[in-house]
A and B are shown apart, each in its own frame.
Chain A
Amino acid sequence: MSSRVCRTCGGSDIDVDQARGSAVCTGCGSVLEDNIIVSEVQFVEGSGGVSSAVGQFVSADGPAKAPLIGSGFHTSVGKESRAQTLQGGKRQIQQLGSQLQLNQHCLDTAFNFFKMVVSKHLTRGRKTEHVIAACLYLVCRTEGTPHMLLDLSDLLQVNVYILGKTFLLLARELCINAPAIDPCLYIPRFAHMLEFGGKTHEVSMTALRLVQRMKRDWMHTGRRPSGLCGAALLVAARMHKFRRTVKDVISVVKVCQTTLRKRLTEFEDTPTSQLTIDEFMRVDLEQECDPPSFIAAQHKAKMQQLEQQLAQKLDDVEGQISCYKDEIETELERSRPKLSGIYAAYAKEIEPEDAKALPATPDLEPPEAEDDELRAAAQQLTQDFLCQVIQEEEGRGEAGDDSGREEGEGSQRQAAPLAAILGKLPAPVSLGLQQTFDASEASEEPGDEPMEGGDLDLDGIDDQEIDKYILNQEEVQVKTELWMKQNAEYLKEQQEKEERIKKEKEQGTYKEKPKKAKQKKEPILASTAGEAIEKMLEKKRISSKINYDVLRDLNSRGTGSGGGSSPSRPAPDPPDATTATRKRVARRRRKKASDVSRSLAATTSMIGKRVRHLISSTSKKRKTAVQEEPPTAPKRDATPEPTAEAPPEQEAEAGPALPAPPPGPEVGEEEEEEEVEEECVSALQLVGDYGCEEEEVF
Chain B
Amino acid sequence: MTPITPATPASKSSEIVPQLKNVISVVNLGCKLKLMSIALKAWNIEYNPKRCPAAIMRLREPRTTALIFSSGKMVCTGAKSEQLSRLAARKHARVLEKLGFPVKFLNFTIQNMVGSCDVKFPIRLESLFLTHQKFSSYEPELFPGLIYRMVKPRIVLLIFASGKIVFTGAGSKGFEGVKERAVIYEAFENIYPILEAFRKK
Which chain A residues have a beta carbon within 8 Å of chain B's beta carbons? 148-150, 160-161, 164, 168, 171-172, 177, 179-181, 218, 220-226, 288, 290-291, 293-294, 296-297, 442, 445-446, 449, 452, 454-458, 460-461, 465-467, 469-471, 475-476, 479-480, 483, 487, 489-490
Measured as residues with beta carbon below 8 angstroms from the partner, the interface class of chain B is: 35 or more
B160 adjacent to chain A (CB < 8 Å): yes
- With A222-B140, A461-B91: A291-B161 Cβ-Cβ less than 8 Å: yes
Q: How far is the CA of A597 from the CA of B81 in the complex (A)?
A: 58
B185: Cβ under 8 A from any A Cβ: no
Q: Which residues of B contact A460 (CB under 8 A)?
A: 87, 90
Chain B 140-156 interface residues, beta-carbon cutoff 8 Å to A: 140-142, 144-145
Whether B49 contacts A149 by the Cβ 8 Å rule is: no
* B-side contacts of A177, CB under 8 Å: 133-134
CA distance A156 to B88 in the complex (A): 46
Q: Does B99 contact A (CB under 8 A)?
A: yes
Q: Is the CB of A218 within 8 A of B144?
A: no
Q: Is A149's CB under 8 angstroms from B91's CB?
A: no
A470 and B137 contact, CB distance less than 8 A:
no
Residue pair B104, A294 in contact (C-beta under 8 Å): no
Q: In whole angstroms, what is the CA distance A476 to B41 when docked?
A: 5
Residues of B within 8 A of A220 (CB): 140
Q: Which residue of A lies closest to B47 (CB)?
A: A483
6 closest residue pairs by CB, A with B: A222-B144, A293-B162, A221-B161, A164-B142, A294-B162, A177-B133
Question: Residue B97 at the A interface, CB < 8 A?
Answer: yes
Q: B140, A225: Cβ atoms under 8 Å? A: yes
Q: Quick one: closest A residue to B129, CB to CB?
A: A180
Contact indicator B130/A180 (Cβ below 8 Å):
yes
Q: Give the nearest-CB partner of A219 in chain B.
A: B161
Whether A225 and B141, one on each chain, are in contact in the complex, defined by CB atoms closer than 8 angstroms, is: yes
Q: How far is the CA of A470 from the CA of B37 in the complex (A)?
A: 12
Residue B30 interfacial (CB < 8 Å)? yes
Q: Does B183 contact A (CB under 8 A)?
A: no
One of B83, B84, B98, B121 near A470 (C-beta < 8 A):
B98
Interfacial residues, chain B to chain A (CB-CB below 8 A) = 30, 36, 39-44, 47-50, 59, 61, 81, 83-84, 86-87, 90-91, 93-95, 97-99, 103-106, 108, 118, 121-126, 129-130, 133-134, 137-142, 144-145, 160-164, 200
Cross-interface CB contact of A466 among B94, B108, B138, cutoff 8 Å: B94
- Minimal beta-carbon separation of A523 from chain B (angstroms): 30
Q: How far is the CB of A256 from chain B (nearest CB, A)?
A: 15
Give bound CA distance, A487 to B87, whole Å: 33
Asked if A445 contacts B86 (CB within 8 A), the reply is yes
Q: A161, A171, A297, A489: which contacts B162 (Cβ < 8 A)?
A: A297
Q: Which one of A290, A452, A469, A487 contacts B200 once the chains associate, using CB atoms below 8 Å?
A: A290
Beta-carbon contact of A164 and B139 below 8 Å: yes
- Quick one: which of A150, A296, A480 contacts B40, CB cutoff 8 A? A480
Query: How many angstroms from the CA of A456 to the CA of B163 in the assembled complex?
Result: 43
A469 in contact with B43 given A290-B122, A445-B83 (CB within 8 Å): yes
| Chain A residues with CB below 8 A from B87, complex form | 445, 460-461
